[in-house]
Structure 1
Amino acid sequence: MKSAAHTYAEKAIQSIRSVEADPDCNNKDYGRLCLLFPSMVQVNGLRLTVAFFQSKGKSQKTLHQRYLQDLAATVGSAAWETGLSTNDMMDYRDLTRHVLQAAVWFKRYAEAILKVEAADGLDS
């Protein structure tokens, strides 16, 4: 039986590899989102961070939307949708914990594979 961390690591590397192979995707910008997301969740909470990322992709499919989709696939789309809309704080905290655990893997792989550094800034 695989641990949750192992599952998150596998799915995160698949997502990062697909971004790396996509010629239409800006690898550095996606990597910066991977670095930015966990700290935004820590400061603002999961709901506000997701709302911010969703608002960035309203008019067109953006890297923000792609990151959210990749993250949702990693933690489980069903858990993602129900966890964000629930009023049960235990479910929300559990989802936040799982999302942060998965986001750490995205961050690690962005640094290792996409060669993004914390000093790199976001222009958007």
Structure 2
Amino acid sequence: MQTRSQQYAQAAFPAVQRHYPQATKDLSKEQKEYRTVAKKFPSLIHTCGLAQAIAFYQAKGHTDYLADLASVVSRAGHPEITNAQSLAEHSRTAQLSLYMRLSRNTLMAAGWIKRYVEALAGEDE
């Protein structure tokens, strides 16, 4: 039996590794942007709330990150989340108790994505 944290960690690693297949200091523009987006999203949830944070990232076109986030959330206990669009829809329409649970779990997923990005892509220059 795995802890919830282990489930999120296990789901997040392949999503991040897809963007950073090998450790290198020479990151592409897309990799640098993904690193920045991944590092900022958890604090954005704290500041604005889940629905507004997702809407902001959708407006900015960060679809790769949102797709990875939705995949991690889905694999770690929210099978109703099938893609980034369904994550956004559920964040806007869920009842309060479900919204709070989804927010907490999405924050945990975003935290694991951030940790793996920092490990595989390094720190900002």
Can you list the C-alpha shifts for 1:52-111, whole angstroms capped at 9, x where unaligned?
A: 111112xxxxxx111000000111162435631324110000000000111111111111
* TM superposition shift of 1:21: 3.1
2:106 to 99, 112, 116: 99
Tell me, in whole angstroms, the C-alpha distance in 2 between the residues paired with 1:40 and 1:81: 15
CA contact (8 A) 1:32 1:116 kept: no
CA contact (8 A) 2:51 2:88 kept: no
The answer for the alignment partner of 1:3 in structure 2 is: 3
Give the structure-2-normalised TM-score: 0.79
Tell me, in whole angstroms, the C-alpha distance in 2 between the residues paired with 1:73 and 1:92: 18
Unaligned 5+ residue runs, structure 1? Answer: 58-63
Tell me, in whole angstroms, the C-alpha distance in 1 between the residues paired with 2:29 and 2:18: 9
Tell me, in whole angstroms, the C-alpha distance in 1 between the residues paired with 2:88 and 2:51: 11
Read off the aligned partner of 1:30 and give its amino acid letter.
Answer: Y
Moved over 4 A (4+): 22-25
Alpha-carbon RMSD across the aligned residues, in angstroms, is: 2.2
Matched residues, number: 112
The answer for the alignment partner of 2:52 in structure 1 is: 48
Q: Choose 5-14 or 33-42, whichever is displaced more.
A: 5-14
Percent of matched pairs sharing the same residue: 32
* TM superposition shift of 1:116: 2.8
CA contact (8 A) 2:55 2:88 kept: no
Q: Choose 77-86 or 89-98, whichever is displaced more.
A: 77-86
Give the structure-1-normalised TM-score: 0.79
Unaligned 5+ residue runs, structure 2? Answer: 82-86
* TM superposition shift of 1:24: 7.3
